[in-house]
Structure 1
Amino acid sequence: MEYITWRSIYTVIVFVLFIGIGLWAYSKGRKKDFDEAANSIFEEDELDNSKQNNTKQESKNNE
């Protein structure tokens, strides 16, 4: 087989993988997981704020 043939086969394989990843990412079953991942940063902020408030309360009690 020639170099051009191998390169053509490689291009087709990469294109099929690209389409497969696109279908996987936009499938209905994955939407819930991606929404949870997108909103997880807000949950971490809430946890950090509650920890800071607890620390401030503890330091006031020690005074």
Structure 2
Amino acid sequence: MDYGTVQGIITIVVMVTFVGIFAWAYSGRRKAQFDEAANLVFSDDEKHKDSGEHK
């Protein structure tokens, strides 16, 4: 195997990995978990409001 073949194989592996991550991130099954994670920033504020604490 020469350098060009190895470089081609690495390119294909990286491309397949990228497509896999893209499909995982935009799949409908993960939407609920990502929405929950996006709202974690606000959960701390709600906890402090309920307990009457202020920072």
TM-score by length of 1: 0.76
**Any gaps of 5 or more consecutive residues in structure 1?**
54-63
**CA RMSD, aligned part only?**
1.3
- Give matches, 1:14-53, under 5 Å: 14-49=14-49, 50=51, 52=53
Cα gap change, 1:15 to 1:52, in 2 (>3 Å): same
* TM-superposed deviation, 1:5: 0.5
If asked which structure has higher relative contact order (CA below 8 Å, sep 6+), I would say 2
Compare CA radii of gyration and give the structure with the larger one.
1
Do structure 1's residue 6 and structure 2's residue 6 form an aligned pair? yes
**Any gaps of 5 or more consecutive residues in structure 2?**
none
Q: Which has the higher helix share?
A: 1
TM-score by length of 2: 0.86
* TM-superposed deviation, 1:48: 2.8
TM superposition outliers: structure 1 runs of 4+ over 6 Å: none
Deviations 1:8-58 (CA, angstroms, capped at 9, x unpaired): 1000000000000000000000000000000111111111333516xxxxx
